[in-house]
Structure 1
Amino acid sequence: MNVLVVSLLAVPLLILTGCGEEALNDKSKTEAPMMLMDEFTSIDELPSVLEEGLTPEEKAELREKILPSGSADELAAEEKFKQLLEEARTGDAKAQNGLGVMYYTGEAISKNGAGQILENDPELAAGWFFRAAEQGYADAQFNLGLMYANGEGVSQDTAKAVELFQNAADQGHVDAQNNLGALYYTGEGVARDVDEAIHWFEKAAAQGNLDAQANLDAIRSMNN
């Protein structure tokens, strides 16, 4: 049986959580032992007193035993969040979209009203996607379209998803083109129009989108 590939997939979160616009707690620095009270080391560094007299190989071995796994990744995520938040507040659409992705995926720390840490925050993510989408940023239009299509962070509204995918597709966004074609084919959120679906699948396939090409192949095989 031929199956139409519809790539209405959740965004790899980009991911979405909710501490408002407050910066993350600073986990990048930790106070050293009392005898080193004037020395602060980042989370991926060892206090110098522990490294005294060690060869580079011995230092590397000690780091592997002591430092928490993934600490460098956590630090990078925190610095990324801070930079994106600063830029997003100035109205930078790309940063707003990036911040939305971090909240959607849970890469950014968020809490609910009771102070509990959330795994991710679709509502806050949708808010940042909306800001960027309003400025015509295609990636944000696509991401917000996915959220409306899936009912994540916003009430499900396929017609709104079609509108957002259309706006992004008109700018050449390949995944939006494929998803727009899929919705035209199924008639969700828009009047069913196979010719229009094929039009958008062809545009996406011409950019190398494999899902769009699979959709075209499935349609053509059903018509043979």
Structure 2
Amino acid sequence: MNVLAALFLAATVALLTGCGGESKSDKSEADSISAPLNEITKLGEIPSIMSEGLTEEEKAELRDQIMPGGVGDVKAAEEKFKALMADARAGDPAAQNSLGVMYYTGEAVSKTLSGQVLNTDPELAAGWFFRAAEQGYADAQFNLGLMYANGEGVPQDLTQAAELFKSAAEQGHVDAQNNLGAMYFTGEGVDRDEKKAVEWFKKAAAQGNEDAQANLDAIKASGK
């Protein structure tokens, strides 16, 4: 997965209580599992999920491998953006997704019809993610799923978010697998199904996702 082309969500399970309230055991189980957390990865940065445990030398080597040329060089960055825009308009899903990230994080500047400069543009970001997601691009499906889940740039729609996560998860997108597991566990956007939740957590954990493994451990500790 291109780490520059993803909005990373370390989604762990947050248990929901029913209308009848929660028992003491239910509360203990809920307290043992942390709530979802977002991490937005900007151009020029290495996601913490990728750099954890690396030495500074290893981080520098990784940065050279994954960072685009021109970061820190304004003129080169402008030329890169123009080329990226051309590729995106030509239908390249990777470029479309990368543009979405740039507009979401504020790396790319946009303006309203009245000329007001926007620091970030989630609506434009969602539009580019949508174009790439339509082509089956897993990172874009995941990113657009996050936007639907959070109601950013698009109306909040957990059902749509779950569908997008599933599309990405079926292609092996590890964060989408973990998120989908979380949604099945809580019943958000899908019918609650603990068996399916565990299946997706296992798929993500098998790829080294620590949050998914933590979710599996929490479920096991609860005796389920």
Query: Which of 32, 38, 46 is the matching residue for 1:9?
Result: 38
Change beyond 3 A, Cα 1:10–1:153: farther
Q: Give the RMSD, CA atoms, in angstroms.
A: 2.0
| 1:205 alignment partner in structure 2 | 205
Other-structure match for 1:23: none
Report how far residue 88 of structure 1 moved.
Answer: 0.5
Q: 1:134 to 1:99 in 2, by over 3 A?
A: same
TM-score normalised per structure 1: 0.70
Number of the residue aligned with 1:181: 181
Structure 1 unpaired stretches of 5+? 15-70
Partner SS state of residue 72, structure 1: coil
User: 2:55 matched to which residue of 1?
Assistant: none
In 1, the alpha carbon distance for the partners of 2:222 and 2:41 equals 32
Q: Distance in 2 between matches of 1:160 and 1:9?
A: 19
* Alignment partner, residue 72 of structure 1: 72
Contact 1:7 1:178 in 2 (8 A): no
Higher RCO by CA contacts (8 Å cutoff, separation 6 or greater): 1
Distance 1:79 1:108 in 2: 12
Give, in angstroms, the shift of residue 4 of structure 1: 2.5
Aligned residue type for 2:138: A
Q: Which residue of 2 aligns with 1:130?
A: 130
The share of aligned pairs that are identical, in percent, is 68
Structure 2, unaligned stretches of length 5 or more? Answer: 1-27, 44-70
C-alpha distance in structure 1 between counterparts of 2:125 and 2:39, whole Å? 13
Secondary structure at the counterpart of residue 223 of structure 1: coil
How far, CA to CA, are the matches of 1:121 and 1:144 in structure 2?
14
- 2:117 aligned partner: 117
The TM-score normalised by the length of structure 2 is 0.70
- For residue 126 of structure 1, report the CA deviation from its aligned partner: 0.3
Say if 2:171 is the partner of 1:171: yes
Q: Deviations over 1:56-111 (max 9, x none)?
A: xxxxxxxxxxxxxxx93434432332111010011000000001111000000111
